[in-house]
């Protein structure tokens, strides 16, 4: 069956990169994308906030999108150390990741916090990538579907549309561990997410669903071919030009 949703390959650099290395990485990815001339897929890189503006300049004209890794719900104010969605947009970002499991775990972010940040992204003209996923204990207890449903219902903004929402499924137990669910488990989780979204918005069929969790060049083709998988949210492998481009080529 032909794809009806444009695949998105997103790289989350997390807390990695000083300016010189980051610009070399961004330029390498941009050069690779330019050479392919891709129009049937999107490539996104999300560097630390300190590098968003410089990276956006480095990839300008290549077709590579730049995003942030987090944003505050408010557009401005007394929020020391935070960054507003409008600030990311001003730096050249087009997207922002919200609700990553590392934010939920390390910073205690709730579904309500994630929803507020997703709404802020939309307010600023950014595309929010809302992350959801179950822990190992939840997976072993057979709670995967209920956890995903609850996170979606609590995190997806009211009035969301397919044009203003991406959902990334990242089983927490697979992030950075080298472990991945089976292809059948990935397909089942994505089908469930689509079903839940169908009850939350009128055009759920158009929402892009990304898989994340130890995605690498060696398993990308198989994961991206699973049912209802429209791309990937890539962690460590996005820090290597050849590895990240190989994942993008695997679509």
Which pLDDT value is given to residue 2? 43
Q: Determine whether the annotation assigns residue 108 to a binding site.
A: no
Q: Which CATH topology does 8-249 take?
A: TIM Barrel (3.20.20)
Q: 197 with 126: CB under 8 angstroms? A: no
pLDDT in tens, 12-70: 999 999 999 999 999 999 999 999 999 999 999 999 999 999 999 999 999 999 999 99
Q: Where are the beta strands (DSSP E) in 13-99?
A: 42-46, 65-68, 95-98
Predicted confidence (pLDDT) at residue 1 exceeds the cutoff of 80: no
What is the chain's mean pLDDT, rounded?
Answer: 96
Digit-coded pLDDT (tens) for 87-104: 999 999 999 999 999 999
Distance, in Å, from the CA atom of 39 to the CA atom of 127, rounded to the nearest integer, reads 19
pLDDT of 3 above 70: no
Measuring CA to CA, which residue among 125, 57, 113 is closest to residue 88? 125
Domain spans of the chain, in order of start: 8-249
Check whether 239 has a pLDDT greater than 80.
Answer: yes
Q: Hey, which residues are catalytic here?
A: 100, 170
Model confidence at 201: pLDDT above 50: yes
In angstroms, the Cα distances linking 54 to 18, 22, 27, 183, 242 are 11, 9, 11, 37, 21
Task: Tell me: is residue 13 an annotated ligand-binding position.
Answer: yes
> 236 labelled as ligand-binding?
yes
Q: Is 155 annotated as a binding residue?
A: no
Name which of 95, 71, 97, 99 is nearest 85 in CA terms.
71
At residue 194, the pLDDT reads 98
Check the annotation: does 37 bind a ligand: no
| Percent of the chain residues past pLDDT 90, beyond the cut | 95
> Hunting for tokens 């410089």 — which residue is that?
54
Mean pLDDT over 73-90 rounds to: 98
Residues near 11 by beta carbon (within 8 Å), at least 6 away in sequence: 29, 43, 44, 45, 46, 234, 237, 238, 239, 244
Residue recorded with tokens 């089942």:
188
User: Tens digit of pLDDT for each residue in 128-151?
Assistant: 999 999 999 999 999 999 999 999
- Predicted structure pTM score: 0.97
């Amino acid at each position: 069956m032909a794809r009806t949703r444009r695949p998105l390959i997103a790289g989350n650099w997390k807390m990695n990169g000083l300016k010189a290395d980051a610009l070399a990485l961004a330029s390498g990815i941009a050069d690779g994308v330019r050479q392919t001339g891709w129009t049937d897929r999107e490539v996104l890189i999300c560097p630390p906030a300190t590098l968003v503006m410089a990276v956006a300049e480095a990839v300008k004209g290549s077709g590579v999108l730049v995003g942030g890794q987090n944003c505050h719900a408010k557009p401005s104010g007394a929020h020391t150390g935070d960054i507003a969605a409008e600030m990311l947009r001003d730096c050249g970002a087009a997207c922002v990741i919200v609700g990553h499991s590392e934010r939920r775990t390390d910073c205690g972010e709730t579904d309500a916090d994630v929803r507020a940040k997703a709404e802020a992204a939309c307010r600023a003209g950014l595309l929010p990538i809302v992350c959801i996923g179950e822990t190992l204990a939840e997976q072993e207890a057979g709670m995967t579907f209920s956890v995903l449903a609850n996170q979606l219902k609590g995190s997806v903004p009211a009035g969301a549309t397919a044009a203003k929402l991406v959902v990334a499924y990242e089983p927490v137990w697979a992030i950075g561990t080298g472990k991945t669910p089976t292809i059948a488990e990935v397909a089942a989780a994505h089908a469930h997410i689509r079903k839940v979204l169908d009850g939350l918005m009128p055009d759920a069929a158009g929402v892009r669903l990304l898989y994340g969790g130890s995605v690498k060049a060696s398993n990308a083709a198989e994961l991206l071919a699973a049912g209802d998988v429209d791309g990937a949210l890539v962690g460590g492998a996005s820090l290597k030009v050849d590895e990240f481009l190989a994942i993008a080529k695997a679509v």
